Amino acid sequence: MTAATASARAPKPAIPDPGKIRGLQRVTTADGYFAILALDHLLSFKDLLADDRSKVSYQQAVDAKLELVQAVAPVASAFLLEAQFSLAQVIASRALPGATGLISSIEGEGFDVVDGERRTRMRPGWDVRKIRLLGADMVKLLWFYRPEATTAELQRQVVRDLVVECAAESIPLVVEPIWFALPGEDQKSTAWLDRRVEGIVESAHISAEFGADMLKVEFPGDVSTSEGRKAAAKACQRLNDGMKQPWVILSAGVGYEEFRDQVEVACSAGASGFLGGRSIWQDAVATRDPAARAVAATEAAARLSELTAITRKHGRPYAPALTGEALAAAFPDGWYRDWQ
């Protein structure tokens, strides 16, 4: 075999996906931090609007989400929204500024249960292609996973399949692994809580190995004591050391002060920001009086700004850039012919 023949048969180096790069750029701040408000809640959102969720109309739910997006948009790098009440609506109403990033959840409300074990429930009629056509910058998957569960392989395949689908559409995927209790487990026991911490770390690493472009993770531990904070910091460091993708912390509905401490610990270990929800905006939605709601919405924006400042002080920016020879090598003359 001649050198020329060997060169011709050698696999071409993979071209970095500019679509995914652009999607990640769109959901970060200009200096590379994720300061994202999660607002893809459905029934739990309606529960805050009235004592009886059945009395909350579709229009009321839509208007409440639009109001909150408008209040927080000036300080958010992106929003995580869902198809039912908010995705098309924030675009058509211009509540979402064109310069603000947009992430779409792909799962439906709740989850399926098989023999007491959770499985991710996809939203009927909603898929990666539609999310890309809408103009969203990223797809988010809520992923219930326990490696010892009988549903584990099915759940692993959900991520593998979605990685392929997102690659085909050149849109980045953020996976949100959720640790849950199996039948008979005592969630208050020390053994279960310790296993949960390790499970959070392991699930993030598995998602990363499958090809997720970003991880949205539960906080691995607690910050209520100095000992707990130190242990959580070590767990965050293990999580960070086992992956090259950017990762952020979710809020899981904890109090704002607790979430603020969690963001600081996670960012100090290598996180690039947060993707927080109820801890930031719950007070604004639960306030029924219009005047008080406006004040609470302003407070939600202030909270997000404070979290962003903490992220900038302690976190690691995600702003990779190719220049010079590296850029030319990654995107040689005619690169577009082999891309996609």
Task: Return the DSSP state at 141.
Answer: E
DSSP label at residue 187: T
Bridge partners (DSSP) listed for residue 149: none
Contacts of 249 (CB under 8 A, 6+ apart): 216, 217, 218, 219, 259, 262, 263, 266, 271, 273, 274, 275, 276
Share of the chain above pLDDT 90, in %: 80
Whether residue 89 is predicted with pLDDT greater than 90 in this model: the reply is: yes
Q: Is 0.85 surpassed by the pTM of this model? A: yes
DSSP letters for 87-109 = HHHHHHTT-S-TTSEEEEE-EEE
Our CA angle for 63, 50, 280, nearest 5°, is 65
Task: Give per-residue pLDDT as tens, 132-175.
Answer: 999 999 999 999 999 999 999 999 999 999 999 999 999 999 99
- 1, pLDDT greater than 80: no
Q: 286 vs 25, which has greater pLDDT?
A: 25
Q: Is 103 left (phi over 0), alpha (psi -120 to 50) or beta?
A: beta
Whole-angstrom distance, CA of residue 251 vs CA of residue 206? 21
Q: What is the pLDDT of residue 289?
A: 80
Band (pLDDT 50/70/90 cuts) for residue 4 is very low
Confidence band of 285 (pLDDT split at 50, 70, 90): confident
Taking CA atoms, 239 is separated from 19, 219, 245, in Å, by: 27, 10, 11
Confidence of residue 10 (pLDDT cuts 50, 70, 90): very low
Choose the weakest-confidence range: 143-157, 239-253, 277-291. Answer: 277-291
How far apart (Å, rounded) are the C-alpha atoms in residues 24 and 17?
11
User: Cα–Cα distance between 37 and 101 in angstroms, integer?
Assistant: 10
